[in-house]
Amino acid sequence: MANPPNGGTESRGGPKGAPAGDGRGAAAVRKLGLHTDPSIFFVSAGLMVAFLLLVLLLPTQINDAFTAGRDWIVTNLGWFFILGVTAWLIFLVWVALSRYGNLRLGGDDSRPEYGNLSWFAMLFAGGIGTVLMFWGVAEPISHFANPPQADVAPHSVEASREAMNFSLYHLSLHTWAIFTLPGLAFGFFIYRYNLPLRVSSVFYPFLKDRIHGPIGKTIDIFAVLGTLFGLAVSLGLGTSQIAAGLEVLTPLPDSVGTRVLVITVLTVVAVSSIVAGLDKGVKRLSNLNILMAVGLMLFVLFFGETVFLFRQIFESTGRYLESIVGLSLWNDSMAGYTKDGGWGWQGGWTVFYWAWTVTWAPFMGVFLARISKGRTIRQFVGGVLLAPSVFTVVWFAVFGWSAMRIDGIGGDGGALTQKVIEEEQVPLAMFEFFSNFPAVTLIQGIAVVVVALFFATSSDSASLVVDMLCSGDEDPGPVRQRLFWGISEGMLAASLIVLGGDTALAALQQVITVIGLPIFILACIMMFSLAKGLKQESHAVYALQFKEMQRRARLADEAERPSEEAVAQKS
């Protein structure tokens, strides 16, 4: 195993507890009792505060700027997002099946720290749990009532099948490929090369020791900001759904003020888990969260059309796998001839999903690497790609097909279509859906709690990771340091809600598409960096194996060669 120069403890800025760097930044870090890289921490925090001030002082101008930026990106670079994620998925499958699959994320004798169940619960709850709760009903109904393909009739059998295919395309293998690629790269370079726990470490094959300089720190600052904005979008979606649920269950109206109140309360819950740390806080919340989510899914499965749903789980899996090649490369290039032109549908769905998800790539990558240390590359890729994807298929088959059956396949649409499409009340879709089941108030209340827990697990996981990205150390930093990031995430999410007002979802899409572009470019370079690192590792392993073969051959030759004493006796 090759160890790069200036890696290991030297790259961490000294012994644990000593702040990295020197000069005024290091003095400020020591004075505040922090353990972090001053350049990354203060610049990231300063840029975030500057954005919050701009939103407060110039909301209209900021909104217009993000709208123009998003329109340009989806029109000119939408194809780049679609091709890029597909390339990452193919690359990951190749790596897992290649000779590199047996390499461990860590030393050759390292073993996993977490059991499979806790590992899956943490990666899922920290990943797209909020997304599945928000879109589990809303996305299939959206595509069912407004099919992406122009020649498909709304609410038809074909529309229902297409709706399920697109929903699975957006939230199964491709989404988890966006998480798996950085997770694999971080685990490989951080634990096998003993580099700091930072995004810049992934680019060591290209940058070498410059990962510790201005270029590396710039990459890390982008990663921290991307993580904060990506989380803010997820928290915004989750908050919208919680506020919609509270409007159904309580006298509270679904307003901007209610959403800000929800963010405030849940941020307090999240920072409480942050203080407890990864093993106690995140692990416990994640396990509870996944159990409650599975409970909701089983409720729908057994109190709905059970036989029909079991059949659709298998059939939807087959149709998804059958269509995945076409979906992976389809970019609606004929939109100008068949519809209104432009990137309207795919810009609002696929490109938004990939831009949004990739802003989570630094957070999820470091988080996955941290909880996956000791696993082989094949175990990591197989687990992170396949296990959540299988769960996603089952989740959408249960919720999506139930929703489309309730809305009326072959008809003109029902209450769900009215809420999601006509009234554009997307956050209410799940609650309208549950109104068709027994114990409606209880189930809607449980749904609100599940979304809130997903909110908390996402927030506390991201806060711990942002702290790690700034310090370069997997050990938790001081409590005040982690509290700062947890509170900051809540404030950023609240500011985006206020910026968007009644059209908060559209505003969140615009912001995240613009922020996601530079992170997406970094992730593309990351794939080539990982390929180069694996190749160098392979050469080093082969060199050691060749030397070992030579040594054994020499010993065997010496054992077979008669000794001088035996030759003398024979003569």
Residue 19 has pLDDT above 50, yes or no: no
335-365 in b/e form (b: 16+ CB < 10 A) is beeeeeeebebbbbbbbbbbbbbbbbbbbbb
| φ, ψ at 556 (rounded to 5°) | -65, -40
Amino acid, res. 557: D
Least-confidence region, from 4-18, 28-42, 77-91, 209-223:
4-18
The percentage of the chain sitting over the pLDDT mark of 90, rounded to a whole number, equals 30
- 276-321 tens-digit pLDDT: 654 555 566 667 777 888 899 999 999 999 999 999 999 999 999 9
Q: What's the pLDDT band for 566 if we cut at 50, 70, 90?
A: low
Q: Which residues, including other chains, have CB under 8 Å from residue 149's CB and lie 6 or more apart?
A: 162
Where does the pLDDT of residue 12 fall: very low under 50, low under 70, confident under 90, or very high at 90 and above? Answer: very low
- When pLDDT is cut at 50, 70 and 90, the band that residue 523 belongs to is very high
- Residue 122, pLDDT > 80, answer no
Q: What is the CATH number of the domain that holds 401?
A: 1.20.1740
Token readout for 195 is: 């580099």
Burial of 538 (C-beta count, 10 Å sphere; 0-12/13-18/19+): middle
**What is the mean pLDDT of the segment spanning 363-383?**
87
Dmax over Cα atoms in the chain, in whole Å? 109
What residues make up the domain containing 461?
8-96+125-545
Which residues, 6 or more positions from 7, have their beta carbon under 8 angstroms from its beta carbon?
193, 194, 195, 204
pLDDT of residue 531: 93
pLDDT score at 14: 33
Q: Which of 179-188, 200-209, 222-231, 494-503 has the lowest mean pLDDT?
A: 494-503
Residue 106 lies in a domain: no
**Both tokens assigned to 228:** 């904060």
Q: Of 53, 24, 20, whose CA–CA distance to 37 is shortest? A: 20
341 lies in some domain: yes
Confidence category of residue 25, pLDDT binned at 50, 70, 90? low
Q: Which residues, listed in sequence order, are joined to residue 104 by a DSSP beta bridge?
A: 376
Q: Which pLDDT score, from 0 to 100, does residue 107 have?
A: 78
* Angle 416-421-422 from CA coordinates, rounded to 5°: 95
In a domain, 73, yes or no: yes
Nearest-CA neighbor of 163 among 349, 436, 375, 366?
349
- pLDDT 10s digits, 226-265: 888 887 777 777 788 888 888 888 888 888 888 888 888 8
**At 523, which helix (H) or strand (E)?**
helix 504-560
Which residue, among 366, 40, 365, has the nearest Cα to 221 in the 3D structure?
Answer: 40
pLDDT for the residue 397: 95
Residue type, 25: G
Question: Within a domain: residue 112?
Answer: no
> Which residues share a beta bridge with 376?
104
The whole-number average pLDDT for the span 5-30 is 45
Contacts of 491 (CB under 8 A, 6+ apart): 52
Instruction: Give the type of residue at 483.
Output: L
459 found inside a domain: yes
Indicate the pLDDT class of residue 66, thresholds 50, 70 and 90.
confident
- Flag whether 555 is in a domain: no
pLDDT digits (tens, 9 = 90+) for 398-450: 999 999 999 989 888 788 888 888 887 888 888 999 999 999 999 999 888 88
Q: Is the pLDDT of residue 16 over 70?
A: no
556, 560, 561, 563, 564 from 569: Cα distances, Å? 23, 17, 15, 10, 9
d(CA 308, CA 161): 14
| 5: pLDDT strictly greater than 90 | no
506-515 residue pLDDT tens: 666 777 888 8
Q: Is residue 554 part of a domain?
A: no
Structure confidence by residue, pLDDT tens digits, 463-479 = 778 888 888 877 767 77
Please report, for residues 52, 272, 287, the alpha-carbon distance to residue 265 in angstroms, rounded to integers and kept in the order given: 20, 11, 21
Residue that is written with structure tokens 């572009």 in the block? 517
On average, the pLDDT of the chain sits at: 81
Cα dihedral 485, 488, 490, 496 sign: negative
Q: Which residues of 250-283 are buried (b: 16+ CB within 10 A; e: fewer)?
A: eeeebebebbbbbbeebbebbbebbebbbeebbb
Which residue type occupies 70? R
Q: Secondary structure of the chain: what % helix, strand, coil (to 5)?
A: 80, 0, 20
In a domain, 57, yes or no: yes
Instruction: Read off the pLDDT band of 553 (50, 70, 90).
Output: low
Please give the pLDDT value at position 401.
96
Give how many domains the chain has, as a whole number: 1
Helical ranges in 330-473 per DSSP H: 335-338, 344-348, 350-359, 361-372, 377-407, 415-417, 429-434, 440-471
Give the pLDDT confidence score for residue 410 in this predicted structure: 85
Residue-wise DSSP of 66-85: HHHHHHHHHHHSHHHHHHHH
